[in-house]
Structure 1
């Protein structure tokens, strides 16, 4: 004996399926907005007016910048022509790429080869948002990606 599928059965399946889809979308949208770290600049048009000039000035420093994490020590390597550079760190924020809940402000110390700072980090994708000045006052700004296995 087979049961006949009636219109209310189909309507119930339809409502149930779309309720799940809409619920999942709402949860994902809520979490995306809740963890959004914010804007990079308050007015992108004003920032864009000097972008090319600022970039060219920063590139003239000819710095190679990289960062790595060994245990709980964040190492920032800044070199020019293979020699270590010790700039003035105006600001440094070490945190996740997608939210600001785990952001830290590392205090770097130069050991003659690299800048090192203790941080609390686990595996995953991290960013070091760096603002530093060279000896001649040129501003260097970069987001350095740090991948921790």
Structure 2
């Protein structure tokens, strides 16, 4: 683990779960942790319902476009958190991997996305604690 760990969040579209997770980690950890996200099959834009759900808690995740997962992005990460991307994420020895089973917010209402958002925040708080202690 480096002095300033790098966390990579990966989901299929890099438009919902991974974006919400990255938004929470950036918001809660600031510059103590380098935050990245990517998708195995990225969409053209971030999920607008995910953007709205995060805006409700004061976090803007609407900027930027979903990014394609690359081997280099995994190599550069200390921690890789996958969220439903199956076997698309390459595995490298010495990396810490976590698989978070979370419902996909794609096509869901804001009412359905709020509990997903809140669960992601809970897991992010635990991740920060584990990285800083």
TM exceeds 0.5?
Answer: no
Going by fraction, where is helix more abundant, 1 or 2?
A: 2
Which structure has more relative contact order (CA 8 Å, sep 6+)? It is 2
Going by fraction, where is strand more abundant, 1 or 2?
A: 1
Q: TM-score, normalised by structure 1?
A: 0.23
Q: TM-score, normalised by structure 2?
A: 0.24
